[in-house]
Amino acid sequence: MQANSSRYRYCSRKLAHRAYLLQIFCLVIAPNRASELPDDQRIVITGVGLTAPNGNDWSSFREALLEKRSGVQPYEIRYFGKTLAGICDFDTNRYQKKKEVRRGTRAGSVGVYAANEAIQHSGIDWENTDRSRVGIYVGVTEHGNVETENEIYVIKGFDYDTSCWSHHHNPRTVANNPAGEIALNMGITGPHYTIGAACAAGNAGIIQGAQMLRLNECDLAIAGGTSESIHTFGIFASFNSQNALASHEDPSQASRPFDVQRNGIVVAEGGCLYVLERLSDAKARGAEIHGELVGYAMNTDATDFVLPNPERQSQCVHMALKKAGLEANQIDLVSTHATGTSSGDFQECKALRTVFGDCTNTRINNTKSYIGHAMGAAGSLELAGNLLSFRDGVVHPTINVDELDPDCAIPGLVLNEPEEGKNIDYVLNNSFGMLGINSVVIIGRV
Amino acid sequence: MTPAEIRDEILDILEDISPDEDLDSLDDEKAFRDQLELDSMDFLDIVMELRKRHRVQIPEEDYGNLASMHSTVTYLEPKMKDIVKS
């Protein structure tokens, strides 16, 4: 009897403990609207492939962010001269023959590398995957400037004789080039195209991939963004003429969003592509799931070519939260778009204050402070930089904030030192671009 | 340029446009396409490089002469005989 009673007390304690854990679990993993959808409408991340100025795979990129390692370097480009840039050093010949690299574009090579890495990381049986059911959706800020500048430079040497203009120019500059090069390299025969969305493109690629999966237009999406922008002098010259190009005697300190001494953008190259799948498919093959797209939104300022509109930005964030069925305080981490320009950073902070100003839970950081602005890849790269916080519970800081601009002093900013021991269930990723294009994605821990 | 110099020039162009290929064992009598992974864009590269490097113009109807190393050198010999190899 005594033994039974003791056993009963033991079982009761065990059950109570389980209930407590369940309660904690329910409190921690807050329900979202996506979780109410059937599994074939829920979109999850099962692979990540990337190259960033400070890392050529997901884990080394994360490591660089946690170690506060910058990828910004001195750089020189014809006509413009010396400047700074975020430069990638991935092995172009890892997945491409030399001939493919010569014939294609830098954006294509970045895309091919990231796509192959993502597929490998996903653990999918690629040899037996139906390539006609794979879609490629690559966000780009711009494409073709690099190749056009190169050709003009070449024919200048021939007194502008256009018969010396390369026959490779058209296939290199068609807007679908970076996605098409991935298709050629990997034998993918499903849909491929790029999404031109200025610097909101990385998020836009992810959103497009998710939508196509939900529409059953493909079974697997390779989605995200790429950029080759450091190879066009025009982007440096244009930002410089706009007084929006960063300079600093120490390259690693040049990209300094939210700091009073910020003086502009550090242009970067890079790419980050995700393998997206329907949850039902991911479960069926026993895939490791790295996050779920629980909400997203895109909208437009319709107010200015370059100046952002905080009202539309906050509206975009609210739309994404509504789609996710989440309250602002349930967002554990906001990955900001802030590029280090005086106006842009302030305007985004203004937008974020209206949404997250009263949130005690939400932390806010910025990844451009490490790598610069990777343009079409910025959204997807910065998201990848934060997604591993689901596992390690660390929020990497915005670096280079020696003196916080009072106009950017919003609650929850994580500055200069990482914040550890944080339970991260939801990451909200901002990505905005010229012509007033805004995009927000929310990824939940699974 | 002598026929040997023209051959060296074509080899140099092929090294540029086909960097993954081993050109040491190239058979001059066999068609390029039977030995190398060359497509129509690559043949246009040969035409373009000759134009850029030596201002040699090859009309489209003559492209068939670029089938093999031997036929290419034979075709180019009169066009390049007055060019001094730099």
Contact A164 B52 (CB under 8 A): yes
What CATH superfamily is the domain A39-284? Thiolase/Chalcone synthase (3.40.47.10)
| Burial letters A150-173, b for 16+ CB under 10 A, else e | bbeeebeeeeeeeebbbebeebbb
At the second CATH level, the architecture of B3-19+28-80 is Orthogonal Bundle (1.10)
* Pairing between β-strand A220-227 and β-strand A134-140 as defined by DSSP bridges: parallel
Asked whether the beta carbons of residue B44 and residue A164 sit closer than 8 angstroms, the reply is no
Bridge partner residues of A299 (DSSP): A438
Give the SS3 label for residue B73.
helix
Test B17 with A164 for CB contact under 8 angstroms: no
pLDDT at A347: 98
CB contact under 8 A, A166 and B18: no
C-alpha to C-alpha distance for A224 and A141, rounded to whole angstroms: 12
For residue A268, what pLDDT is reported? Answer: 98
Residue A214: the pLDDT is 98
pLDDT of res. A249 = 98
Q: What is the tens place of the pLDDT at every residue in B5-46?
A: 999 999 999 999 999 999 999 999 999 999 999 999 999 999
Fold designation for A294-444: Peroxisomal Thiolase; Chain A, domain 1 (3.40.47)
Q: Write out chain A's pLDDT in tens, 446 residues.
A: 344 444 444 444 444 444 444 444 444 456 788 999 999 999 999 999 999 999 999 999 999 999 999 999 999 999 999 999 999 999 999 999 999 999 999 999 999 999 999 999 999 999 999 999 999 999 999 999 999 999 999 999 999 999 999 999 999 999 999 999 999 999 999 999 999 999 999 999 999 999 999 999 999 999 999 999 999 999 999 999 999 999 999 999 999 999 999 999 999 999 999 999 999 999 999 999 999 999 999 999 999 999 999 999 999 999 999 999 999 999 999 999 999 999 999 999 999 999 999 999 999 999 999 999 999 999 999 999 999 999 999 999 999 999 999 999 999 999 999 999 999 999 999 999 999 999 999 999 99
Spell out which chain B residues touch chain A, with contact meaning CB-CB distance below 8 angstroms. 16-20, 37, 41, 44-45, 48, 51-52
Of B19, B48, B51, the CB nearest to A98: B19
Q: How far apart are the C-alpha atoms of A108 and A90, rounded to whole Å?
A: 13
Residue type, A357: G
Contacts of A151 in chain B (CB under 8 A): none
* Per-domain boundaries in chain B: 3-19+28-80
Chain A nearest C-alpha distance from B6 (Å):
21
Largest interatomic CA distance in chain A: 104
Closest-CA residue to A384 (of A83, A54, A40): A54
Q: What is the pTM of this model?
A: 0.93
Any bridge partners for residue A221, and if so which?
A135, A276
In the structure, what pLDDT confidence band is assigned to residue B86 with cuts at 50, 70 and 90?
A: confident
Measured between beta carbons, the chain A residues lying within 8 angstroms of B18 are 99
User: Quick one: three-class SS letters along chain A?
Assistant: CHHHHHHHHHHHHHHHHHHHHHHHHHHHCCCCHHHHCCHHHCEEEEEEEEEECCECCHHHHHHHHHCCCCCEEEEEECCCEEEEEECCCCCHHHCCCHHHHHHCCHHHHHHHHHHHHHHHHHCCCHHHCCHHHEEEEEEECCCCHHHHHHHHHHHHCCCCCHHHCCCCHHHHHCCCHHHHHHHHHHCCCCCEEEEECHHHHHHHHHHHHHHHHHCCCCCEEEEEEEECHHHCHHHHHHHHHCCCECCCCCHHHCCCCCECCCCCECEECEEEEEEEEEHHHHHHCCCCCCEEEEEEEEEECCCCCCCCCHHHHHHHHHHHHHHHCCCHHHCCEEECCCCCCHHHHHHHHHHHHHHHCCCCCCEEECCHHHHCECHHHHHHHHHHHHHCHHHHCCECCECCCCCECHHHCCCCECECCCECCCCCCEEEEEEEECCCEEEEEEEECC
Query: Rounded to an integer, what distance in angstroms lies between the CA atom of residue A143 and that of residue A194?
Result: 10
Q: Phi, psi (5° rounding) for residue A220?
A: -150, 130
Instruction: Provide the pairing of β-strand A363-365 with A333-335.
Output: parallel
- Residue pointed to by tokens 């010229």: A434
Residues B30 and B68 sit within 8 Å (Cβ to Cβ): yes
Give A166's contacts in chain B (Cβ within 8 Å).
48
Q: Tokens standing for A211?
A: 């939508």
Chain B hits for A103, Cβ within 8 Å: 41
Give residue limits of the domains in chain A.
39-284, 294-444
Per-residue model confidence (pLDDT) at position A31: 76
How remote is the C-alpha of A107 from its chain's centroid?
16
Please state whether beta strands A426-433 and A333-335 pair in parallel, antiparallel, or not at all (unpaired): parallel
Topology alike, domains A39-284 and A294-444: yes
| Residue length of chain B | 86
Distance from CA of A166 to the nearest CA of B (A): 8
